[in-house]
Amino acid sequence: MTFQEQILEGIPSVLPQPKPYESTINHAPKRKEILTDDEKKLALKNALRYFEPQHHAELIKEFSNELETYGRIYMYRLRPDYKMYARPLSEYPGKSDQAKAIMLMIQNNLDYAVAQHPHELITYGGNGAVFSNWAQYRLTMKYLAEMTNEQTLVMYSGHPMGLFPSHPEAPRVVVTNGMMIPNYSKPDDWERFNALGVTQYGQMTAGSYMYIGPQGIVHGTTITVLNAGRKIAKKGEDLAGKVFVTSGLGGMSGAQPKAGNIAGCITVCAEVNPKITHIRHSQGWINEVIENIDELILRVRKAQQNKEVVSIAYLGNVVDVWERFYDENIYIDLGSDQTSLHNPWAGGYYPAGISFEDANDMMANEPTLFKEKVQETLRRHAAAINKHTAKGTYFFDYGNAFLLESSRAGADVMAPNGIDFRYPSYVQDIMGPMCFDYGFGPFRWVCTSGNPDDLAKTDAIACQVLEEMMQTAPTEIQQQMADNIRWIKGAQENKLVVGSQARILYADAEGRTKIAEAFNQAIARGEIGYVVLGRDHHDVSGTDSPYRETSNIYDGSRFTADMAIHNVIGDSFRGATWVSIHNGGGVGWGEVINGGFGMVLDGTKEASKRLESMLFWDVNNGIARRSWARNEGAVFAIKRAMESQPLLKVTLPNFVDESLF
């Protein structure tokens, strides 16, 4: 069968032969044993409902074995035989170009070069899934291939509910992931309901089909490291010779070494998983891999002496790095962590002093002991960081729940008031006041032609727009503009593309709209193919996350989630091609609500109207909320937005004289 025929087949009437388990692929760890016998029976019933009854007797044994062996039913047998990657738009079957673009994005999320655990349909973060099983993938792709622009596909935590009548201006797909009743949103609830096959963790951009490989976080990490460096540097000093220590080389954290190189420092990034370490090295995201701690110490000293710009992966536990660097008196200038501590008991963080293989075995078979070892390691980790910060190291939490889980483990990470953490979130110190409050956030696009020339043309268009805007931009946002122009000019030489021909930069509503309109005009002129617009959920408006995206909201509302819900509702009727709303992305199940979108530009006047309406709302919804929280940068930004758009009328806060108290 051809690729198009396989897509249109959906779930095959004749079952494919079972597939061997490929040990060379990076697989998800076995999930903990959590279902009762009755619940296991229910999980099997739930899986078998995708198949005709004549197949049940054959599949029930196989699915039962998967559940016992891996803790989940992935339906490995149904993995397609074709290569998984983002093909040019023209290669997809279908009646709707918008639907074809969504198929392209789904396949990009599952590309072996992009996905963390491709056979388990997990893109990044240890459990950030596009789908829960391969039947869902096959059925979704079939629906998209059959869809017209008079229909909307409804996605229920990975499961395609079906095609419903709608209209051309409606979203083609509406996605929800993990939207639990609040009292059922604890970590073990995810384990149980995910094992039952009734919900999933979509992370931020995995379950919304908008992940573009590590590049998606490289830009934000570069901006963060640059500005963290500005906090510790003397005037006119750069990051040459300064040491940045962190950990994690997964789908998101793998961006750190590349960002460190762009920022111009020495990056030491620890990772316990050999496969992902060598994948990142082969992709060019890391310069060197070192497995011996003594060798690492010598190498870092040499790099400090020569003021090198180099990224080094240490294949081992980061706690050993923090502790030995202190003993050896190696000064750490910047420190952070990007392990998947939103998922601490299922592979997101590994205990020190135990091999990777033994830790995985303990995780599955002795989960209580594994949790104790993880918490013991977190206490050591925090204690070592505290020793370094006492010497002047600037440490920031990277929004991965490191400080949250460390506090729950009893580590010394609390401020004297017993409420706040002793170290700031990077959003509190950098991204919130400098970017999000002013409306700057991750604007993404994907060239659906798959042609690198199209990407180069869009880079040039975006750069030209930003340079023109900077000429009249107010002083408050000059630094943001300059950093992004620097980024886009170096995008090609830094070889940021993994998977689809995609790009990211930080822009405000004005910048996003002007760049998108310039793309749409270029499409209309036939200079480039269709473009998919999107963003990370980690943005101005899309995410309510009290320990990350909204951690610089100080009016007491940071634990509310109205903004994210407003965001996705508003995007859906203002022209988004697909919208998504998730529980759990970034910092953990039950800790955040986040929304995202995708928009297809096809060169039409209708696309111009949609992008202008939707992008303005998508950003200014969040600025309005941040302004109401009395964030001064956001007050400045929303006043500026009201001047540009007479129909915008936002309630502004009155500031209270502190002396009155």
**Given the structure tokens 């559940």, which residue do they identify?**
67
Question: Is position 126 annotated in a ligand binding site?
Answer: yes
Residues contacting residue 96 through CB under 8 Å, at least 6 positions apart:
144, 147, 148, 149, 172
Residue type, 370: F
**Are 502 and 480 within 8 A, CB to CB?**
no
Contact indicator for 125, 252 with CB cutoff of 8 Å: yes
What is the DSSP track for 59-115?
Answer: HHHHHHHHHHHHSS---GGG--SS--S---GGGS--S-HHHHHHHHHHHHHH-TTT-
Residue 252's alpha-carbon distances to 210, 213, 394, 625, in angstroms, are 13, 8, 22, 27
Is residue 353 marked as binding?
no
User: Contact 121/131 with Cβ under 8 angstroms?
Assistant: yes
d(CA 400, CA 408): 14
Q: CA–CA distance from 449 to each of 4, 295, 484 (Å)? A: 17, 45, 25
Give the separation between CA 332 and CA 325, rounded to whole angstroms: 8
Cα–Cα distance measured from residue 450 to residue 488, given in angstroms and rounded to the nearest whole number: 19
578: phi then psi, degrees, rounded to nearest 5: -145, 150
For residue 620, the surrounding DSSP H or E stretch is helix 605-628
CA-closest candidate to residue 547, choices 640, 423, 446: 423
DSSP string spanning 26-74? -PPPPPP----HHHHHHHHHHHHTTS-GGGHHHHHHHHHHHHHHHSS--
Find, among 380, 326, 329, 327, the residue nearest to 350 by Cα: 380
The H or E element that residue 512 is part of is: helix 509-524
Q: Is 530 annotated as a binding residue?
A: no
Q: How far apart are CA 45 and CA 67, in angstroms?
A: 12
Distance, in Å, from the CA atom of 366 to the CA atom of 354, rounded to the nearest integer, reads 14
Q: Which residues in 87-106 are b (16+ Cβ under 10 Å) and which e?
A: bebeebbbebbbbbbbbbbb
Q: Which two tokens stand for residue 152?
A: 């909307």
Q: What span, in angstroms and rounded, lies between the C-alpha atoms of 224 and 258?
A: 13
CA 232 to chain centre: 28
Of 164, 171, 142, 135, which is closest to residue 52 (Cα–Cα)?
A: 135
Select from 78, 29, 41 the least CA-distant residue to 191: 29
Burial class (CB in 10 A: 0-12, 13-18, 19+), 6: middle
Provide the β-strand partners of residue 231.
Answer: none
Rounded Cα distance, 435 and 536, in Å? 14
Q: In a 10 Å sphere around its CB, with 0-12 CB exposed, 13-18 middle and 19+ buried, how is residue 308 labelled?
A: middle
- For residue 499, say whether it is annotated as part of any ligand binding site: no
The amino acid sitting at 119 is: H
How far is residue 4's CA from residue 7's CA, in Å, rounded to a whole number? Answer: 5
* Annotated binding residues: 125-126, 203, 271, 398, 586
Residues in the annotated binding site for NAD(+): 125-126, 203, 271, 398, 586
